Structure 1
């Protein structure tokens, strides 16, 4: 999988890099590679997912009012 960013006419490099970073964030490429950098035990994966679910449920309860 490769990400292509075509630089527009008279576009600064900084802006093109910003667009590339946003595209990488949207497709979770950076997050996925960081997660695969080290082995994660199945119990640690489950614990992390449960922690995320508990946090999202807490936010839903807080802002459901």
Structure 2
């Protein structure tokens, strides 16, 4: 992982279910699951570059719904 972080959640009187939900949210916010999926298999640098360019073009072509409302 690029940045090491231990995700810890204390279980208190509110229950294990609430602690699990909090743990899941923390893992998503720290990017632990995304990092795991990225490192699951080796990708050549050229493939990583192509994926990065593809995601950038998707973001660029995504319609800007919020800004259109303010332009009128």
TM range (shorter): 0.7 to 0.9
1:17 aligned residue: 20
Residue ranges of structure 2 left out of the alignment (5+ in a row): none
1:7 aligned residue: 11
- Number of equivalent positions: 62
1:27-46 equivalence runs, <5 A: 27-46=30-49
Scaled by the length of structure 1, the TM-score of the pair is 0.82
Q: Once superposed, what is the RMSD of the aligned Cα atoms?
A: 1.3
Scaled by the length of structure 2, the TM-score of the pair is 0.76
The structure with higher relative contact order (CA 8 Å, sep 6+) is 2
